[in-house]
Amino acid sequence: MSFGFFRNLTKARPAPVVEREHCVAGRTLPLKIVESDRARRLTLRIDSGGRGLRITVPPGLRRGEVEKFLERHQDWLEQRLAKVPNRPQVRPGIKIPVRGVPHRIVHEPSKRGTVMLSRDERGPLMIVHGDRVHLPRRIADFLKREAKREIEALVVKHTGAVGKRAKAIRFKDTSSRWGSCTSDGNLSFSWRIMMAPRPVINYLVAHEVAHLKEMNHGPKFWKLCEQLCPETERCKDWLKRNGGALQAIMFE
């Protein structure tokens, strides 16, 4: 019996998606099953930060084949997820990095819903006003505003250096990549990058702006990236080692 919701669609339509949950290693994770005309076999991927699972399947695959596939890869999933950082929920008392500097979250409900950075004798603080229920969203909104302000300025700087213009700059909460550049000049960035150190933020912007001139990852691209950001290798390594922890922080 095939998935009833997977119909024969034209290529112009989006791929059918089934969303459910899957329990593994003591966690209940969202699972997306995506049918692709280009898929010749089943592939399984863990989203960055362990936020979910994704299986890509060929058209018309039977439901039972997906279940067997998951059973065969249960041990693999458990081993991989054991290496994924815990997913801390944003709440008062924990520390969250801003430009690489950990700030302890302090909730002060008596004032209107704003976020401000401060410090006391124990170190940097992130003071969040307003109702407790809105605290995670307010912190996420704060990081988005900071990302827009800082990244847009860096885009202007680096596009001026390469002699190219960005058509648009967008900010998203993507789990699979930190940034992207389309062939028509649209740049996208994950606002979570504002939790990384300043040099890493600069590297990410330099990386995507370099794609405006070199839409590949060949030698010319990396040479241009190094020209825009001399710390490219160090920052790329930092993001590879620490990016998963930033992606794992929950703002729901």
Q: Can you give the residue ranges of every domain in the chain? A: 17-82, 136-248
pLDDT digits (tens, 9 = 90+) for 15-60: 578 888 888 877 778 899 999 888 889 999 988 767 789 999 998 8
Report pTM.
0.71
Q: What are the CA-CA distances from residue 249 to residues 107, 127, 139, 175 (Å)? A: 18, 18, 12, 11
As beta bridge partners, residue 44 has 55
**Mean pLDDT value of segment 108-136:** 92
What does CATH list as the number for 136-248?
3.30.2010.10
- The dihedral formed by the CA atoms of 73, 84, 188 and 171, expressed in degrees to the nearest 10: 120
Neighbour count for residue 219 (Cβ, 10 Å): 9
Q: Which residues contact 186 (CB under 8 A, 6 or more apart)?
A: 166, 167, 168, 169, 170
User: What is the tens place of the pLDDT at every residue in 59-118?
Assistant: 888 888 999 999 999 999 988 887 776 677 899 999 999 999 999 999 999 888 789 999
